[in-house]
């Protein structure tokens, strides 16, 4: 059953067709996993008046939370968390088992990384379900908020093995960097389960958002999540491919996107060409959906093409940097600005910036990298350097990264890169050349200062 309605204007319809759907009572909620999803979700639910216990097994993340620090970079999160804690509505624990005592709802927000064959690895979800299963309150509702493949609600039900416990799918659509805003003001709430009443009760947890509520079956709900990320990834691959075409025909991709964006059916969002799409979700979720399609015997070549096109985009940026260095990178110093997968987050999982930086070192380039979220202080080969940063020389600021470089490549769209002293950048570089893989800078302005400038999809 699909029931798309609203919490606000269509209140009576929602209450009528999805019993409990608009019940704004304060509920006891356990959230398992204090990551990019669990932490903003827990703080948002506390903001809405629910009593939330957040379980986190990672000692570093838990210690940070307990001492009032945020373990992740996310605008506005510290205030929202502090509000919940001081209101006595949000507390933290190391143990999922402890968190579920007294909880009416248990939200699983644990990782579902990519498995070896491209499918989602459900081991964290299964482990969490196993850990809490026998301890759940009678009649508790378990919520799969992690991104999970079709059939996972049933799987979690089987792991828990309790006829009184219902499992509901409630995919999350927040973006990193705007997670607080997205949690407080989501575009929609999707809940899916065989038990419509349980699904509506989960929807009601978020009634204060006023967002449209879609109540459906678990399979459809699970499919909606993958479909959303796959659509966004495909849109970006189209945009990046079009940028490549613009370079060949001499068009300006920014104006092309302006012309597209004014069409309301297309819209302006997700039209910025870049170095390729990445992050902890789009890459793994597109591959997981491809795996689901393959298993189901469906040839999803469109999605396979979008994924392949993304790899080509990374290669195109590497080729631009190589060309800017005269055709070879061996022994050449390259300044890299930005390492996170996009701005306003500290997340480097599946970051296009990092992948490009490593491809450059693989071609013999000596990469000097700066990112505002990466701490400096150890050399590139010391044990203190996280594995994903090995082989890169980490710099304290963008000027240091540019020093002695034959080219600087902008890989993450951090706003601070716009406002640098470009005369100083020019002075410290071996050759004043910029490859702007985010189209962040004003080409005319930097060219006037004597830089050679290469953007994406524009002259
Ligand atoms: P994350 O790795 O940042 O956080 C998960 C947290 O869960 C970790 O801190 C981990 O220590 C903790 N954890 C794992 N098992 C636990 C257990 N048994 N008890 C207590 N804590 C446990 O991951 P994330 O980015 O928050 O993603 C979580 C899920 O949400 C994934 O399925 C992801 O695909 C999905 N998702 C992520 C985003 C995003 O923007 N990151 C958006 C929508 C959906
Ligand atoms: C994405 C989705 O946007 C969220 O709705 C979803 O909940 C989330 O994945 C998830 O399932 O984890 P997120 O990973 O935070 O959110 O990042 P996006 O803002 O979607 O960006 C993804 C990648 O696309 C980044 O590398 C970004 O730089 C790139 N991008 C995005 C562009 O190159 N151009 C754009 O116009 C937009």
**Which of the listed residues 99, 228, 281 should we mutate to test ligand 1's pocket, taking the one with most ligand atoms within 8 A of CB?**
281
| pLDDT given at position 382 | 59
Mean pLDDT over each residue of the chain, to the nearest integer: 94
Whether 10 has a pLDDT exceeding 50, the answer reads no
Ligand 2 nearest-atom number relative to CA 269: 36
CB 426 within 8 A of CB 450: yes
- The answer to whether the CB of 65 is under 6 A from ligand 1 is no
Ligand 2 is surrounded, with C-beta below 6 A, by 147, 172-176, 229, 232, 236, 270-272, 274, 277-282, 341-342, 352
Q: Say yes or no to pLDDT of 7 above 60.
A: no
Give residue 135's pLDDT: 97
Q: Which residues of 191-203 are buried (b: 16+ CB within 10 A; e: fewer)?
A: bbbeebebbbbbb
The CATH code for residues 226-305 is 1.10.1040.10
Above pLDDT 90, what percent of the chain?
92
Nearest CA to ligand 2 atom 11: 281
* Burial class of 101 by CB neighbour count within 10 A (0 to 12, 13 to 18, 19+): middle
pLDDT at 5: 44
Span from the CA of 163 to the centroid of ligand 2 (angstroms): 38
CA of 229 to the centre of ligand 2 (A): 8
Task: Give the ligand whose atoms come closest to the C-alpha of residue 30.
Answer: 1
What is the arithmetic mean of pLDDT over 384-397? 93
**Active-site residue set:** 281
Nearest CA to ligand 2 atom 18: 175
The CB density around residue 452, as the number of other CB atoms within 10 Å, is: 13
Among 30, 31, 32, 33, the mutation site with the greatest number of ligand 1 atoms within 8 A of its Cβ is 33
What confidence score (pLDDT) does residue 379 get?
53
Determine contact, residues 99/38, Cβ cutoff 8 Å: no
Average confidence (pLDDT) over 229-239: 98
Nearest CA to ligand 2 atom 16: 175
The best mutation among 31, 35, 188 to test binding of ligand 1, ranked by most ligand atoms within 8 Å of the C-beta, falls on 35
Model's pTM, two decimal places?
Answer: 0.94
Phi/psi region, residue 186 (left: phi>0; alpha: psi -120 to 50; beta: rest), is: beta
Instruction: Point out the ligand 2 atom lying closest to the alpha carbon of residue 176.
Output: 15
Q: Which atom of ligand 1 is nearest the CA belonging to 175?
A: 40
Q: Is the Cβ atom of 32 under 6 angstroms away from ligand 1?
A: yes
The burial class, CB within 10 Å (0-12 / 13-18 / 19+), for 13 is middle
Q: Which atom of ligand 2 is nearest to the CA of 272?
A: 36
Contacts of 289 (CB under 8 A, 6+ apart): 226, 227, 229, 230, 300, 303
Residues in the chain: 459
Task: Please work out whether the CB of residue 109 comes within 6 Å of at least one atom of ligand 1.
Answer: yes
Which of 243-247, 275-279, 382-386, 455-459 is least confident?
382-386
Q: Give the position of tokens 């100083």.
A: 424
Q: Is residue 245 within a helix (H) or strand (E), and if so which, with residue range? A: helix 218-249
Q: Is the CB of 35 under 6 A from ligand 1?
A: yes
For the domain made up of 17-216, the CATH class stated in words is alpha beta
Does the Cβ of 280 fall within 6 Å of ligand 1?
yes
Task: Report the pLDDT value the prediction gives residue 378, as an integer from 0 to 100.
Answer: 53
| Residue to substitute in 232, 234, 440 for testing ligand 2 pocket (most ligand atoms within 8 angstroms of CB) | 232
Residue with tokens 């509702």: 141
Place 381 in a pLDDT band, splitting at 50, 70 and 90: low
* Residue 15 clears pLDDT 90, i.e. is over it: no
Is pLDDT of 276 > 50? yes
Dihedral angle of Cα 382, 385, 386, 387, to the nearest 10 degrees: -40
Query: Strand pairing partners for 215?
Result: 3, 191
User: What is d(CA 180, CA 170) in angstroms, rounded to the nearest whole number?
Assistant: 17
Among residues 223, 246, 239, the alpha carbon closest in space to that of 306 is found at 239
> In the CATH hierarchy, which top-level class contains the domain 311-454?
alpha beta
pLDDT at position 8: 36
CA distances (Å), origin 368, targets 315, 382, 402? 19, 16, 7
Do residues 273 and 255 lie in contact, with contact meaning Cβ atoms separated by under 8 Å?
Answer: no
Looking at residue 23, its pLDDT comes to 78
What is the per-residue pLDDT across 53-97, written as a single tens digit (0 to 9) for each? 999 999 999 999 999 999 999 999 999 999 999 999 999 999 999
Question: Which ligand is in closest contact with the Cα of 269?
Answer: 2
Alpha carbon nearest to ligand 2 atom 37, residue: 270
- Report how far ligand 1's centroid is from the alpha carbon of 349 (Å): 12
For residue 444, give every residue at least 6 positions away whose Cβ sits within 8 Å of its Cβ, in sequence order, or none: none
Q: Is the pLDDT of residue 118 over 80?
A: yes
Q: What is the mean pLDDT of residues 141-162?
A: 96
The CATH 1.10.1040.10 portion of the chain extends over 226-305
Ligand nearest to the CA of residue 72, numbered in listed order:
1
Quick one: which ligand is closest to 53's CA?
A: 1
Q: Can you tell me the distance from the alpha carbon of 224 to that of 4, in angstroms, rounded to the nearest whole number? A: 13
In this prediction, residue 385 has a pLDDT band, given cuts at 50, 70 and 90, of confident
Q: How confident is the model at residue 19 (pLDDT cuts 50, 70, 90)?
A: very low
Tell me the CA–centroid distance for residue 280 and ligand 1, in Å.
10
| Confidence grade of residue 279 (pLDDT, cut at 50, 70, 90) | very high
Please give the Cα distance from 139 to 103 (Å, whole number). Answer: 10
Query: Where in the chain do CATH 3.40.50.720 domains reside?
Result: 17-216, 311-454
Asked if pLDDT for residue 367 goes beyond 50, the answer is yes
CA angle 287, 374, 445 (to 5 degrees): 90
Q: Which of 74-83, 239-248, 317-326, 376-385 has the lowest mean pLDDT?
A: 376-385
* Cα–ligand 2 centroid distance for 176 (angstroms): 8
Under the banding of pLDDT at 50, 70 and 90, the label for residue 159 is very high
pLDDT at 16 over 70: no
**How far is residue 222's CA from residue 228's CA, in Å, rounded to a whole number?**
10
Spacing, Cα 278 to ligand 2 middle (Å): 7
Q: How many degrees, rounded to 5, is the angle at CA 94 between CA 90 and CA 97?
A: 90
Q: What is the pLDDT of residue 459?
A: 85
Question: What is the four-CA torsion angle of 81, 86, 92, 97, rounded to 10 degrees?
Answer: -120
């Amino acid at each position: 059953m699909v029931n798309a309605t609203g919490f606000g204007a269509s209140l009576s319809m929602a209450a009528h067709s999805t019993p409990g759907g608009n019940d704004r009572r304060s509920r006891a909620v356990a959230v398992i996993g204090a990551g990019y999803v669990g932490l903003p979700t827990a703080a948002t639910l506390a903001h809405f008046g629910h009593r939330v216990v957040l379980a986190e097994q990672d000692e570093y993340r838990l210690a940070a939370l307990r001492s009032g620090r945020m373990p992740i970079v996310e605008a506005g999160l510290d205030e929202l968390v502090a509000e919940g804690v001081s209101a006595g509505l949000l507390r933290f624990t190391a143990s999922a088992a402890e968190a579920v005592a007294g909880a009416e709802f248990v939200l699983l927000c644990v990782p579902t990384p990519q498995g070896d064959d491209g499918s989602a690895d459900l081991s964290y979800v299964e482990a969490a379900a196993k850990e809490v299963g026998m301890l759940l309150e009678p009649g508790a509702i378990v919520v799969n908020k992690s991104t999970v493949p079709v059939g996972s609600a049933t799987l979690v039900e089987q792991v828990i093995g309790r006829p009184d416990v219902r499992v509901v799918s409630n995919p999350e659509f927040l973006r990193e960097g705007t997670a607080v805003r997205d949690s407080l003001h989501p575009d929609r709430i999707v809940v899916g389960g065989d038990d419509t009443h349980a699904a509506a009760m989960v929807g009601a947890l978020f009634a204060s958002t006023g967002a449209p509520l879609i109540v459906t079956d678990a399979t459809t709900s699970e499919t909606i999540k993958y479909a959303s990320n796959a659509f966004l990834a495909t849109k970006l691959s189209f945009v990046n491919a079009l940028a490549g075409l613009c370079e060949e025909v001499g068009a300006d991709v920014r104006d092309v996107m302006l012309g597209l964006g004014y069409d309301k059916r297309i819209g302006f969002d997700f039209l910025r060409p870049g170095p390729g799409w990445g992050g902890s979700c789009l890459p793994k979720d597109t591959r997981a959906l491809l795996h689901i399609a393959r298993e189901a015997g469906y040839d999803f070549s469109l999605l396979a093409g979008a994924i392949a096109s993304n790899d080509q985009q990374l290669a195109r940026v590497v080729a631009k940097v190589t060309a800017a260095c005269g055709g070879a990178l061996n022994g050449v110093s390259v300044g890299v600005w930005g390492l996170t997968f996009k701005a306003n987050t500290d997340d480097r999982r599946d970051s296009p910036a990092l992948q490009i930086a490593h491809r450059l070192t693989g071609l013999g380039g000596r990469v000097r990298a700066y990112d505002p979220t990466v701490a400096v202080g150890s050399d590139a080969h010391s044990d203190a350097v996280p594995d994903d940063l090995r082989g890169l020389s980490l710099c304290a600021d963008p000027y240091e990264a540019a020093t002695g470089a034959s080219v600087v490549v902008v890989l993450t769209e951090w706003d601070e890169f716009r406002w640098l002293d470009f005369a100083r950048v020019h002075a410290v570089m071996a050759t004043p050349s910029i490859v702007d893989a985010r189209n962040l800078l004003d080409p005319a302005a930097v060219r006037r200062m004597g830089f050679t400038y290469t953007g994406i999809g524009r002259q």
